[in-house]
Structure 1
Amino acid sequence: MAVKDRDRISNLPDVLLDNILSSLPTKDAVATSVLSWRWRWAFTWVRCLDFDDSPISHCVEYSHLIDSFPSFKAFVDNILQACQSERTTTFRLHFAKNNISRCLSHYCSEECLPEMELEHLYAWMKFPLTRGVTQIDICARVQNPGKLPSALYSCRTLEVLKLNVTFDLEVPLSMCLPNLKELHLTKYDFPVDDSVSRLVSSCPSLELLALEGHLTPSSPFSISSPSLRRLTINFLVWDGRPRSKLVLDVPNLEYLMYQDVLAMQYSIGDLNSLVEAEVDTMLFYTSERQIDNILSFLSPLSNVRRLFLMRGCVEAVNYCG
């Protein structure tokens, strides 16, 4: 009977409790505080924070549980205030994500996004930056967004950064993310300046880059990185205008997925390390000039082991007989 009634949970070591709770969404980790006295404050020492406001939807037409959003904000505030761990290795913050795909498809307007004071949101985003964070995943779209916190561009411990935000990507001239290996950017409208190019160039250890969203076709686009191994470019196309220029200087690239409108000019460097490529260019009408442009993009891919061609690329190949 003594063995049967023993509280095994209370005898677990702190390291094991931390590992268990860090693998759970934060709201579930907090719920374990009712299990026993031993677990009451255990969640305050977790190294992984995961906040998600699902299933709340802020869409004006398809709203759901909007009244619960203030409770979500209060929950995040309370957990960050209660956190006692000096290290936060993983920080995931997702809210209003049910509206994101609709916004990217022009179904939702700004009124469908939640209102939130920028200083309040900045405090959330800055929280892990001084705690040795290695992974940040923020999916947040709000009304009247400002700039991303400049401290985000100088976090030396950061290895994985995922951003799906309405904030402006105003990259500081003196930024550096020396240990960043993965960068995922999703933007409704990418900036037409060289912010993304400078961001990539300031990450000397970058191995994976994934871009998704809309970039004005008339804007040129350039990526230069000797360390990059995997590159995914998926620019949404809303009209038939061609891109002015695409520049790729990625000599050690092993995987490429490229989807965009046809560019009027391509400047593709050495791709001898490329193993697999998926190419989908939007060809709105067939002309010899457009065919030549597509072939100038495909030519540097001649040594690739696995090549997948879609849409305009197939039309170009067929056109050439």
Structure 2
Amino acid sequence: MDTDLISNLPDDVLGKILSLVPTKLAAATSVLSKRWRNLLPLVDSLDFDESMLFYPDNKDGEDEASSDESGLGRRHRFSHFVDKTLALLSNAPLIKRFSLKCFYENDEARINSWIRTALERGCLELNLEAANYLCIDSQYFTSNTLVKLTISDGFYPEGHLPSGGVFFPALKTLTLVEVSFASRDMLEFFIHGCPALEELFLCVWMQYLSSPNVKRVTITSDFDDNVYQLPSIRIKTPSLMYLDYSSYVAGDYYVVLDSLVEARLDLRLYESIIYDDDGSLWNEEVFGNVTNLIEGIRTIKSLHLSPNSLEVFYFCCDSDFMPVLEDLVNLAIESDKEKGWEVMPSLLNKSPNLQTLVIKGLVHRVTDCCGDACACIRMMDREIVSCLSRCRVKVLEILGYGGSFRELKQMRHFLGKLRCLETVRVGVKEDSKKSNYLVANVMALPRVSSKCKIQFI
């Protein structure tokens, strides 16, 4: 006779197990036997997903949402299930995690009551997602215990801020994805209601951010570039150590980033730069100014720039006024065949203590302003002293190396100019053919530094 070892486990252990499975399955275990009948109140993690929880009757391949009656039935069954489950848990000590995904239910009063119940029951982590716009009543959107909050898609806070609501004194992590706010100031008030915030993930339109204690911020502030150009961006985060920022370039930046250590920037121009066939610039009027932003990250030690950011740094910052990045020791850039390296000389000259340079892809656009950090520079009447000769880089890492003639030429330029090089790491493309031949070509290149060792990874 088989022994039911799982049913013999202590109640608290079974409660932990049920908390790890979808709430629908946890509730279904109550019909297994008398042993499981009263275990649901021990569940401390609830996951209500309307798209997966119930399905309407499907006859002859009829589409699930083909009739209003089936939709109403689905909403009724989902609401009944959530109400019943929360009622069964009314005497449970704590709801640690509460996840609610609404795709058909649109009774805002009822949904707000579920959220309020979770918060009143000491919820530590709250995840909200909706397919349709559903209002969160900010007046009751408070908790002294909530540590992690995620709001995405259709849910949006509404209320009279800052006079009441949205206060999470223990919140450490906040994620807002495509959340609509009633006003531009409401996002500011919302974040202001989270004074202990340490991690912030924003995928929303934003123009101003202020948070005194946040240490990590990820911002994806994309919008249609045909709407308008951002006049300015204000970021006041004096304790911030890590910034990942993706957006269109603003007219100016006012930032307080005194503690910043690492940043990943993906800044984009509103209009593409157009070049003639000979590589000369066709349109020279470009919107945006990142000089103050670069000044604001002067304490940074590690910087990662996308191909778009290289373009923005060149066209939106006068090289004569580019701030010196005294503390920068690690610089990583990505190349694109449509983007130039014009900014690289200024960037390297303004990074006097740079130790490690990482480049993903060596192929870039050749222009008449192509910087002397690259091998495709066009010599005029006099020899140009390359910025690489003054560079103190000890470690050079090349990723996605394909072994083309242009790439090999650029490798020769680096090895022949970087006098302090000690280590060169080359990451070869997985689909590269004749890898032995590729390796031999690189290893045969002359090196100005006698300490230089080349590794293939």
TM-score by length of 2: 0.57
Deviation digits for residues 190-249 of structure 1, max 9, x if unmatched? Answer: 44431111222232210011111345xxxxx22222210111111222124221221111
Q: Given the alignment, which residue of 150, 170, 175 partners 1:179? A: 170
Equivalent pair of 1:279/1:313 in contact (CA under 8 Å): yes
Tell me the C-alpha RMSD between the 2 structures: 2.6
- Look up the match of 2:268: 282
- Look up the match of 2:34: 37
TM-score by length of 1: 0.80
CA distance in 2, matches of 1:116, 1:318: 49
CA distance in 2, matches of 1:78, 1:23: 20
Determine if the alignment matches structure 1 residue 247 to structure 2 residue 247. no
- Look up the match of 2:278: none
Q: Give 1:4-43 correspondences, 5 Å limit.
A: 6-43=3-40
CA distance in 2, matches of 1:304, 1:267: 17
Amino acid at match of 1:233: I
Equivalent pair of 1:161/1:183 in contact (CA under 8 Å): yes
- Look up the match of 2:306: 310
CA distance in 2, matches of 1:41, 1:64: 37
- Look up the match of 2:124: 134
Deviation at 1:169, TM superposition (A): 4.1
> Unaligned 5+ residue runs, structure 1?
58-62, 97-113, 216-220
Task: Answer with 115-124 or 187-196: which moved more.
Answer: 187-196
Determine if the alignment matches structure 1 residue 158 to structure 2 residue 146. yes
CA distance in 1, matches of 2:43, 2:311: 54
The structure with the largest alpha-carbon Rg is 2
Amino acid at match of 2:44: R
Identity %: 30
CA distance in 2, matches of 1:122, 1:64: 30
Equivalent pair of 1:178/1:202 in contact (CA under 8 Å): yes
| CA distance 1:223–1:309, shift in 2 (3 Å) | same
Q: Which has the higher contact order (CA 8 A, sep 6+)?
A: 1
> Unaligned 5+ residue runs, structure 2?
56-61, 274-283, 320-341, 343-457
Amino acid at match of 1:65: E
Equivalent pair of 2:176/2:203 in contact (CA under 8 Å): yes
CA distance in 2, matches of 1:283, 1:64: 44
- Look up the match of 2:216: 230
Q: How many residues align?
A: 287
Q: Given the alignment, which residue of 237, 257, 266 partners 2:244? A: 257
Equivalent pair of 1:190/1:213 in contact (CA under 8 Å): no
Equivalent pair of 2:270/2:287 in contact (CA under 8 Å): no
| CA distance 1:32–1:147, shift in 2 (3 Å) | closer
Give the 4+ runs in structure 1 shifted more than 4 A: 4-7, 286-289
Amino acid at match of 1:280: D
Deviation at 1:300, TM superposition (A): 2.1
Deviation digits for residues 277-298 of structure 1, max 9, x if unmatched? Answer: 111222023656635x123323
